[in-house]
Each structure stands twice: as C-alpha cells, then as structure tokens.
Structure 1
C-alpha cells in the first residue's frame, strides 16, 4: 500500500471518533461518561488480547501501561470531564491543538524539527475547528480548560511515544492496540466505579451502542491509528485529528437535523484544508522526513502477520 492509502486508512480512525457524540446522545444512558469510556476501552482490549494471544515481555509491560495511560486511561476521563464543563464544543477546540503539542514533543523525543508551515497549519486547523464548534455564548471554566489541555497533551504524548518506542520484534499494531486498550480500561475502571457507582441497567439500544463503540469506534479505529503512527510521522498522523469534530458536525447535520451556518462551513473548509496540508511531505533535513516510509516493508510484513494470525485464530475457533 502506498503512502496515500496509509493516510486514508488512518483517517478512518478520527472519522469514526466523530460519530461518538451522536451514538452517545442517541443510544447510551445519560451522565455516565466514565462508564462509557470504560466500555469503549476494556472489552475491546480484552477481545484483541484473546485474538492475538500475545502478552508484553520485559520492559514492554511498563511501556504498554504508560502508552495505555496516555492514549486511553488518562485521555478518556479528561476528555469527558472537559466536554461536560466546557459548553459549545470548546473541548474540541482545545483538542484541535494536538498538532501543535505533537510538533513540540517531536522536537524533544523524535528530533523532528517543526517547520513554519507545520506551525501555521496547526494554527489554521485550530481556527477552523473553533469556527465549526464554538458558540457566541460559550464561557470558560478553569477546570474544564485544564482538563481539555491535559487531554490533548496526553494524546499527543502517547502519539509521540508510540512513534519513538515502536513495537517489539514480531509484534504488530493489532497486538499493541490490545495492550493499550486493556491497560487503559483497567486504569479507568476504579475511577468509574468510585465516581459513578454501579453500572446502569442497559436496554437493547444501549447494548448496540456500546458494541459499536467498543468494536468499530475503538478496537478497529485505534488499530488503524497506531498502524498509521508506525508508518507516518507523528505530526502527519495528528493532523488527521480535526476530521473528528468535522465528522461530528456533518453527522449532526445529516442525522440529527442540526443546521450548519456559513461560518461553520467556512471553518470546515479551513480545517479540512489544514488536514490536507498537514499530509504534505516536509524536507528530510527540515522535519526528519517521513520515517515511517523508510521502515514500510518491515512494518508491512508485521501487519500481514497480524492479519494471518487473526484469520488462523478464527479458523481454529
């Protein structure tokens, strides 16, 4: 698969995440954000572990827990907390700062020097998202702002460390996804039960919603996301993030009857343009190059091993 195909598949992850709001409001019990985060992460992680039948070894126990905490265990609760305390989609605006976080962390951890184009594109992405989701009546809340910044920084740090550490020899992104979702879900579980109490009673719609979130929105989406991190630069991957609020706005218009104003349409065009610009290759000297492409053949063999292992497991069962 060429680079464009890798970008397109990776982009399916934030597009899927953009459906979270509609599924949550239309299918799931209200006011249970931590339980929802738990149901997204832990069942998906356990399914992937059962399929892959591979556990971390040595230092990768600690690395898997650290990545699971950053990408899942801390990110989900902080994201939900900010969404509840910040009105008008302001949490999405802070989340759109992810490319700027990644650009800064990539300097320290990946030796990728950010270009002026990268910084300007990151600012444009945040501006576009703000035009799509912000409302004139939106007010700042200190705890909400701190939670939103922390959630964005957590995901950015997880993305950069995932790129820096890579994967153990012979381990593909499917296995890595299972490790991180399981670790993150186990970290969320005690917080969810402590804050929200016992799980709610679920009807058929809620079960269907949680199944979608766990399997499609989380297991498959995060597998594609971590796979993309292994093949592309961290900055390139994180610039796909604005597709999530854009997808949410389109679903709200198409499925929930929400109107789109001219200002929102302008913001969507700016954010989408920034996403496309963020996929353009930088110079090798200026940005560290697209290091994922240099290891493509090895990664492709590991991905094939993931797929063959998955099919072999299905046949045996």
Structure 2
C-alpha cells in the first residue's frame, strides 16, 4: 500500500481504539442501546453537515437508499451496541483485542463471498492462530467459570462478524459518493436504534460532564470524521487490508484504559493478543515477506 494509505489506516486505528474508552465512560450512566443511538445520530448529523457544506450529490434511487440504511444497521447499529454491552464485563483493552479479530473474520467471509478475495495457506494459518488467540483471551473466564465474561467475548466476536460482512457488502457501493454513503447508512442505523433504545432503556439521563464529552467525541471524532476517511480509503486498499486498522486500536485502548480508567489486562490476555497479532501478520503477508528477505 502507498504510504498515505498507511497514514490513514494508522490514524483511524488509533481513533477507533479511543472509542472503547468512550464506551467505558458512557456505560457508567447510560445503557448500551443509547450509546449506539447517540453515537450514530451524532455521527449522522456530522456527515450531513459535511454534505451541506461541500454540496455533495445524493443518490436518487430509493432502493439504493434502503440498501444503504440496511447496511448502516448491520455495520453500525448492531456492533456499536454489542461492544458497550460487552464492556460491562470486559476491560476496554480486552474488547479492543477481540476486535482485532476483524481481519480474520473478513478473510473468512471474503473467501466465500461472490467475487471476494480467496484465502491461501498463509491466511488459513493466520485464521487458526487468530481463533487460538481468541481462546486464550477467553481462558480466564473458562478457568474461573466466569460466564458473563465469556459471553462478553462472544458478543465482541459477533460484532467482528458484522464488520466483516459489512466490509464486503460496502465494495458493491463504490459508485456512491463516500460522504453520502456514510450519512445515509448512519441515518438508517439511527432510525432503527433510537426507538429501540427508548423502548428498552427509557429516556437517558447524563449528569456527568465526562459523559457529554465522551458522547460528542465518539459521535463526531470516532464516527463522523473516521467514516468520511474510511469510505474514501476502503476502495483503494480493499476490505482485508483496511481491516488491519484493528492492529492499532488495541494499543491505544489498552494504554488509555490503564492511564484513564485504571483498568488491568491479565498477562494471559496479553499473550492472546500476541497470538492474534501473529495471525494477522500471516494474513497480511508481512511475516512471510520478512522471512523471504531474511532468507535472501
């Protein structure tokens, strides 16, 4: 990939790592469904503001609008609720580590997706290592009978599957202007998540200043800004390469979780993270490329 694409991937990964910290702050006062609803609603407002300022064109096909709204539910409404729900029982850094399985899920989905990228032996080995790492991450819960933590890891894994499927679907919308794609998809997620949050969790009450700051940051920075970049970079680098943003997210999430929230990550889960990263390197091809250079 070109250096400028790497710059955006690293920046996006770092910002999305911060979103796990914002989630941890938000669930202290509001439920996970409201975390999702407020995030996508503020993100949609930010994207529509960009649309107005830049005077970007909107698609005229109502069927396309419906498809983009449905994409928003799968790509945003569902996983954005699963992660804060899981973080009631998981540290931010651990949730971000599980999120690092997104490229592995993407390889699996892409292999079976019509016209998708086929997995080779190296990617197959990376998939095996990735799920081995996920098992190590869940091992504290398995050994202590912590069903809530084990369920939380499963919820994060389901979120990564949503991301993997949506990344492959997004490739079919290359002709849609990126700002319009993000605005419409986030609007669809808002339309579905807000009534559900009202019914299940009632009217949210946010009394703390840090809650308001976190909800604005996760909506404007982690959603509106990053999605403007994402839909421009994704067609250039492909779904699998783009999913490597999850290399960066756990690092920023762990560092900020320890510094700001006083969280701890057990050594066994750090080992799980290392195994996941080795699997990612195999999938990305960099580990084998380094080996060939050393051999040469």
- TM superposition score normalised by structure 2: 0.78
Match of 1:179 among 184, 203, 219: 184
Higher helix content, 1 or 2: 2
Match of 2:194 among 185, 189, 193: 189
C-alpha contact (below 8 Å) 1:55/1:179 kept by paired residues: no
1:289 is aligned to none
C-alpha separation in 1, matches of 2:182 and 2:155: 24
How far residue 273 of structure 1 moved from its aligned partner, in angstroms, is 4.5
How far residue 143 of structure 1 moved from its aligned partner, in angstroms, is 6.5
Higher RCO (CA-CA < 8 Å; seq separation 6+): 2
- TM superposition score normalised by structure 1: 0.73
1:8 is aligned to 7
2:144 aligned counterpart, secondary structure: coil
Tell me: CA distance 1:253–1:207, structure 2 relative to 1, closer, same or farther (3 Å).
Answer: closer
How far residue 253 of structure 1 moved from its aligned partner, in angstroms, is 2.9
In the alignment of these two chains, the number of paired residues is 276
Match of 2:122 among 117, 124, 149: 117
Is structure 2 residue 63 aligned with structure 1 residue 57? Answer: no
C-alpha contact (below 8 Å) 2:91/2:265 kept by paired residues: no
Match of 1:139 among 119, 142, 146: 146
C-alpha contact (below 8 Å) 1:128/1:267 kept by paired residues: yes
How far residue 55 of structure 1 moved from its aligned partner, in angstroms, is 3.1
Q: Which moved more, 1:259-268 or 1:182-191?
A: 259-268
Which runs of structure 2 are paired with 1:137-176 in the superposition (5 Å)? 137=144, 139-140=146-147, 147-168=155-176, 171=177, 173-176=178-181
Match of 2:245 among 233, 240, 247: 240
Tell me: CA distance 1:176–1:247, structure 2 relative to 1, closer, same or farther (3 Å).
Answer: same
How far residue 187 of structure 1 moved from its aligned partner, in angstroms, is 1.4
Which runs of structure 2 are paired with 1:1-317 in the superposition (5 Å)? 3-26=2-25, 29-53=28-52, 54-58=57-61, 59-84=63-88, 87=90, 95-107=99-111, 108-128=113-133, 135=140, 137=144, 139-140=146-147, 147-168=155-176, 171=177, 173-259=178-264, 262-280=267-285
Tell me: CA distance 1:192–1:275, structure 2 relative to 1, closer, same or farther (3 Å).
Answer: same
Tell me: CA distance 1:132–1:145, structure 2 relative to 1, closer, same or farther (3 Å).
Answer: closer
How far residue 69 of structure 1 moved from its aligned partner, in angstroms, is 1.2
C-alpha separation in 2, matches of 1:8 and 1:21: 21
What's the CA shift string for 1:109-151, capped at 9, x where partnerless? 3332111212322343454566568635363459656644432
What RMSD, in angstroms, separates the aligned Cα atoms of the two structures?
Answer: 3.2
Tell me: CA distance 1:188–1:137, structure 2 relative to 1, closer, same or farther (3 Å).
Answer: same
C-alpha separation in 1, matches of 2:91 and 2:215: 25
1:295 is aligned to none
C-alpha separation in 2, matches of 1:28 and 1:78: 12
In the alignment, structure 2 segments of 5+ residues that lack a partner are 287-296
2:169 aligned counterpart, secondary structure: helix
C-alpha contact (below 8 Å) 1:96/1:129 kept by paired residues: no
C-alpha separation in 2, matches of 1:269 and 1:57: 47
